[in-house]
Amino acid sequence: MAKRIIISGGGTGGHIFPAIAIANALKKIDDKTEILFVGAKGRMEMEKVPAAGYSIIGLDIQGFQRSSLLKNVFLPFKIIGSILKSLSIIKNFKPDAVVGVGGYASGPLLYAASLKKVPYLIQEQNSYAGITNKYLGKNAEKVCVAFDNMQAFFKADKLIKTGNPVRENAIDVIGKRQEAMDFFELDSTKKTVLVVGGSLGAGTLNNSMMAGLSTFQSADVQLIWQTGKYYYKSIIERYGNQPKDNGIRIYEFLNRMDLAFAASDVIISRAGAGTIAELCLVNKPVILVPSPNVAEDHQTKNANALVSKKAAVLIADKHAESELVDQTLKLLSDKELMDNLIRNIAALGLPNADEQIAKEVIKIANQ
CATH number of the domain enclosing 76 = 3.40.50.2000
177 in a labelled binding site: no
Judgement on whether residues 136 and 188 belong to the same structural domain of the protein: no
167 in a labelled binding site: yes
Judgement on whether residues 57 and 190 belong to the same structural domain of the protein: no
Separation CA 197–CA 288 (nearest Å): 10
Residue pair 262/176 in contact (Cβ under 8 Å)? The answer is yes
67 in a labelled binding site: no
Residue pair 234/252 in contact (Cβ under 8 Å)? The answer is no
Judgement on whether residues 206 and 147 belong to the same structural domain of the protein: no
For CA atoms 257, 260, 262, 264, the dihedral sign is negative
217 in a labelled binding site: no
Question: Structural domain of residue 25, as residue ranges?
Answer: 4-164+351-366
Question: 3-class SS at 129?
Answer: coil
User: So what's the pLDDT on residue 230?
Assistant: 83
In a domain, 15, yes or no: yes
Judgement on whether residues 204 and 126 belong to the same structural domain of the protein: no
Q: Helix crossing, 273-282 with 13-29: angle to 10°? A: 70
Distances (CA, A) of 231 to 213, 217, 234: 16, 22, 6
178 in a labelled binding site: no
126 in a labelled binding site: yes
In a domain, 169, yes or no: no
Judgement on whether residues 138 and 211 belong to the same structural domain of the protein: no
Judgement on whether residues 215 and 154 belong to the same structural domain of the protein: no
Q: What is the mean pLDDT of each run of 10 residues along the chain (367 residues)?
A: 92 82 96 95 89 94 62 76 95 97 88 97 89 91 93 95 89 94 96 86 89 92 92 86 80 93 97 91 96 83 94 96 96 98 95 95 94
63-75 tens-digit pLDDT: 655 556 556 666 7
- Total tally of structural domains belonging to the chain: 2
Judgement on whether residues 154 and 42 belong to the same structural domain of the protein: yes
Judgement on whether residues 356 and 304 belong to the same structural domain of the protein: no
In a domain, 320, yes or no: yes
Judgement on whether residues 258 and 288 belong to the same structural domain of the protein: yes
Residue pair 97/26 in contact (Cβ under 8 Å)? The answer is no
12 in a labelled binding site: yes
Closest CA to 273 of 365, 364, 183, 166: 166
Distances (CA, A) of 40 to 46, 97, 125, 151, 192: 7, 20, 19, 29, 37
